[in-house]
Structures are given as C-alpha cells and as structure tokens.
Amino acid sequence: MFLHDTMSREKRPLLPKPGRDVYGMYCCGPTVYGPAHIGNFRTFTVQDVLRRTLEVAGLKVKHVRNITDVDDKTIRGAQAAGQTLSDFTMTWTDKFHADCTALGLLPPHVEPSAVVHIPQQVAMIKALVDRGHAYVAKDGSVYFKVCSCPDYGKLNHIDFSKLETQSENSAGEANDADEYERESASDFALWKSRKPEDGANFWPSPWGEGRPGWHIECSAMSLAHLGATFDLHGGGIDLCFPHHENEIAQSECATGVKGFAAHWFHSAHLMVEGEKMSKSKGNLYTLDELVAKGFTPMEVRATLLSGHYRSSLNFTMKGVDDSRSALAKLERGTDRLLAAAGFTRAEFAAPSAQEVQTSWGRFAKAWEVLQDDLNIPGCLGQVFTVLAEKDEPSTEQARQDVSGLAKILFALGLQLFAAKAEVAIPADVAELGARRWAAKQSKDFSAADQLRQDLAAIGWTMLDRKDGYELKKA
C-alpha cells in the first residue's frame, strides 16, 4: 500500500515501524457539540477506508480516534442547553456513534476522551515547562514557546525563524483579548487559566485551575495510546495548520523523541452544491437531513467516496442520486457474478468467506489501484469494468472473482443488498393494483390502462412481472 504523505509530499509505502507488528494510526475526531455534518464524515469515511484497506492487506491496525469533549464550543453549548458538560457531550457522542454506524464506519479500536486524559495533558505541559519549551503567563495560562522549537513549521514547510510575527499575514488581526500575554503571536495556549465563563468546567494543575488548550489534547492522547512515535496521523486538511504542526512541536519537545508521526494523511474538504460549507449558507448537511430527503446512509457513503481523497469534492443531491443508480448497478452485477459462482447473497455477506478465500480473481487490478494512494474512484471504475465483461466466467473463475469483490467491497465499506425499508401500501392503492392485475389477466387492456392512470394520479406506479406485480411510490 502506498499513500501520499503531507510532510514529505511524496507517495510512500505504509508499513508498521520496524520491530512492531501493529500499524498505529491516530485520527483527530469530532468535537461533540452538535451533530456532525457530511464534511466531517467525508474525512472519517476516508479514514475508515484506509483502515479497512490496510486490514484487508493483512496488516494488524490500531485505529485511535479521539472525542474532543472539552473546548470553547462544548462548554458554551452545554451552558446554553442548561446541561453539565459531560451530559451534553455524551448526548452528541451518542449521536455521532449512531451516524457512524449508519454510514458503515468501523468503530476505532480506541476512542479516547479528552476530558479523561487531562492528567496526561497536564503531565505533558509540565514536561514542556521543565524543558524550557513553555512558559507560564501572569494569569496562570501556559503557552508553548514556538521559538524554542527550531524545526517548528516542518509539516507545513513554513520557515518561522524568518517571520517576525505571525500577525503580519493578511488574516492576522485575530488577537484574542485573553491571549495578550503571549510573548509571540505564534505561541499557542497549552493551558488556559480558569475564567468565570467556564462555569464548573475547570481542573487543577500546577499553574492553578483551568482547562487544557485544544492542541495538547491530541498530543497527550496519541502518546497514551500509541506511544511517542507511531505510524500515521490523519485529519481534515484544515487541521494541517496550526493543529498538527502544534502537535508535532508539543509531542517532540515534551518527549524529546523526533519522528512523532511517520506519515501524515490529510483529506480535502467537501463543497456543497458548488459552495463552501458554512452555517450562514445553511448547507451544513447532517446525515439525518439527507435521510429525510430519502437517501440511504449507504448512498451517502458512496457519494462521499466518489472522488479522490486529496481533491475537494462537490457534494450535490444529483451526486447522491447518481450514487444510488451506481450502487444499484453494482448490486445487479454482483448478483450476476454470484449466480455464475453458484453462491447466494447470504454466502457473499458472510465474513467467514473473506477469511477463507484468498484469491482476487479478475479484481486483482481493482485491488492494486486501491492500494495506490487509496484511489477509490479508480478502483470502482475497475470493478465496473470487470462486471461488464461480456464473457461468462466459469464457475471456478466466478468463485475467485466473488472472493476478490467481497474483499474490495469490504475495504470500501460498501454494504450491498441492505434490506430496503418497506413502504406501507395503502389499502386503496392495493385494491387498485389488484383490480388492474385482474383486468390484465383477463386481457381487458383498456381497463388495465385506466387503472394504471388512476394509480399514477395518486402517486404510485405498477411494475408488471411474469407472475405478479409490484407497487412502487413514484
């Protein structure tokens, strides 16, 4: 498996660190102050495919994705809802998990909570202060001293030694009033001293009561669960700076060990109907909103995977429609292949089949493409190409193909043949359908046509089969 690495800007192989048999990946998780939107889920879905692909490739993976449950937004949200911070974040954590399940995301092996890891964060900040990489401001806040870290900026290829202050950039008017005690504009908060507006949300520390800064949370949790160095760190591209840059600086300076994450994996953002997602535009779709529009979570997943992870993806309702059609085609092609192999859908879905079978059949190319920088669109193109091949495969060939296809669909997390929600058929519709079928059987076609029109008038269509019919909502 090869994957583009943000720091080296090269495609590099993914292998566990020498001497280890587990591939450790840390992904920045959600801030649980409301429902996650599809942009968040693009990132998590792409990470899920990476993890699945590595597992199908035979690697043992340890996937860590945190829950950010203490920061400005969660505290404000809890206060607005009149709830304790933990009750509030629990509600949204549960909702996040429900959405993840619906989208077919495998649960991470470890899902650490930032609040639970505050002692580890305090310990890390203390190490930074002791080593001269951080300083305590008058109010008890602690800041990371960027100039003490000579290679700060290496992830983003920015040379900070030449910059006088960060605030000289065009966006640099963001000097928060509560950060005026920083020695340099580039320095960032590790510990924020207790403020009245924090309410009951403060913790003890050697510098007084307060709460951790956002960046230190991920450094402490990755250290706790993956060690001072690990294999891969992922997140949305917006986190590349400053969040990930800060994580590197904090972790490497606190532990004294260079090489925090061996590989950096960033996914591009989502646009919605051609526009950047934003609250003011009202296009921050949640999964629930898309389901309410009649789309299934699997259709949403397929849409989120319809572009390469390093390109921004324009999410449109037409796109989800297209994905629905494509998934249906994928199901039909899979059905044909199963028939050629003499398998049932149930056998295809069984996980044991994936473990036992090792062949890729005609899908070897699709698998190869997927392993080249997680090229999901290219992989799916290959899958469709094979499914469209004209020559009927032999039973043996088809069985090998099924094995390969099952593994690829598992890697992509595309679950086919999900039970369709049964649409209740109203009694009057059922009666019209029965009458039309009877009329057709007795070859009274004019009556049958009239009844078809009657059904259409109330929003239903009737699909004739050989031995019966099907009523569908238009």
Partner RNA sequence: GGCGCGGUAGCCAAGUGGUAAGGCCGGGCUCUGCAAAAGCCCCAUGCGUCGGUUCAAUUCCGACCCGCGCCUCCA
Decide: 232 and 24 in contact? Cβ < 8 Å. yes
Name residue 315's amino acid: F
Using the rule CB under 7 A, is 314 a contact of RNA? Answer: yes
Told to check if 235 binds RNA by CB under 7 A, we report yes
Give the shortest CB-313-to-RNA separation in angstroms.
5
Sheet of 60-65: strands edge to edge? 60-65, 22-27, 230-236, 261-267
Between 60 and 241, name the residue whose CB sits nearer to RNA. 241
Residue 140 CB-density burial (10 A; 0-12 exposed, 13-18 middle, 19+ buried): middle
Residue 378: CA count within 13 A, CB half-sphere: 14
Distance of alpha carbon 296 from alpha carbon 306, whole angstroms: 15
Sketch the per residue contact string, 387 through 426, with RNA: x for CB under 7 A, - otherwise: -x-x------------------------------------
Least spacing, CB of residue 314 vs RNA, in Å: 5
Residues 49-108 within binding reach of RNA (CB under 7 A): 71-73
Q: How far is the CB of 21 from RNA (least distance, A)?
A: 28
CB of 216 to RNA, least distance (A): 10
Interface with RNA includes 31 (CB under 7 A)? yes
**Per-residue x/- marks for RNA, 135-174, CB under 7 A?**
---------------------xxx-------x--xxxx-x
Q: Using the structure block, give the residue that is written with the tokens 């020498």.
A: 18
Q: Which of 16, 77, 108, 319 binds RNA (CB under 7 A)?
A: 319
Among 24, 236, 361, 433, contact with RNA (rule: CB under 7 A): 236
Report the distance separating Cα 437 and Cα 464, nearest Å: 9
Among 65, 192, 194, 362, which residue sits at the site for RNA (rule: CB under 7 A)?
192
Q: Which is nearer to RNA, 352 or 446 (CB)?
A: 446
Please identify, using beta-carbon distances, which residue of 230 and 285 lies nearer to RNA. 285
Sign of CA pseudo-dihedral 219, 220, 222, 226: positive
**Residue 434 CB, nearest distance to RNA (Å)?**
14
* Structure tokens, 435: 């009458």
- Please list every residue from 336 through 355 that binds RNA, using CB under 7 A: none
Residues 454-473, one symbol each (x = binds RNA by CB under 7 A, - = not), give -------xxxxx--------
> Which residues within the stretch 241-280 sit at the binding site for RNA (CB under 7 A)?
241-243, 267-270, 276-277
Is there a contact between 30 and 39 (Cβ–Cβ < 8 Å)?
A: no
Using CB under 7 A as the binding rule, whether residue 328 contacts RNA is answered as yes
